[in-house]
């Protein structure tokens, strides 16, 4: 087993496929995840009940920050 470079792949999925993807050298932190959601995902979302109107995240700690919640609420 050879150790190489480590990358983190972040993806937003819909039932039709990938909505957005991002590859980060090493591991992702709260700031990189926030940038991905704001710059790549939220711009492609729409008001409910349109397609891409619901954002679901698991319970990972970097997914749950007050600033991300505030931005999502502001955008709608």
Residue spans of alpha helices (H) in 1-76: 30-36, 66-75
How far apart CA 43 and CA 41 sit, in angstroms, is 5
Confidence of residue 2 (pLDDT cuts 50, 70, 90): low
> pLDDT tens digit string along 39-73?
999 999 998 899 999 999 999 888 989 999 999 88
CB atoms within 10 A of CB 10: 18
Which of 2-6, 13-17, 44-48, 66-70 is the least confident region?
2-6
In which band, very low, low, confident or very high, does the pLDDT at 5 lie, cut at 50, 70 and 90? confident
Could you give the 3-state DSSP secondary structure of residue 53?
coil
How far is it, in rounded angstroms, from Cα 3 to Cα 40? 30
Establish how many alpha carbons lie within 13 A of residue 41's alpha carbon, considering only the half-sphere containing its beta carbon. 25
């Amino acid at each position: 087993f050879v150790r190489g470079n480590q990358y983190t792949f972040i993806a937003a999925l819909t039932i039709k496929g990938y909505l957005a993807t991002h590859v980060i050298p090493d591991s992702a932190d709260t700031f990189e995840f926030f940038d991905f959601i704001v710059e790549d995902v939220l711009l492609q979302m729409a008001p409910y009940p349109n397609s891409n109107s619901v954002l679901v995240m698991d319970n990972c700690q970097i997914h749950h920050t007050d600033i991300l919640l505030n931005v999502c609420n502001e955008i709608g």
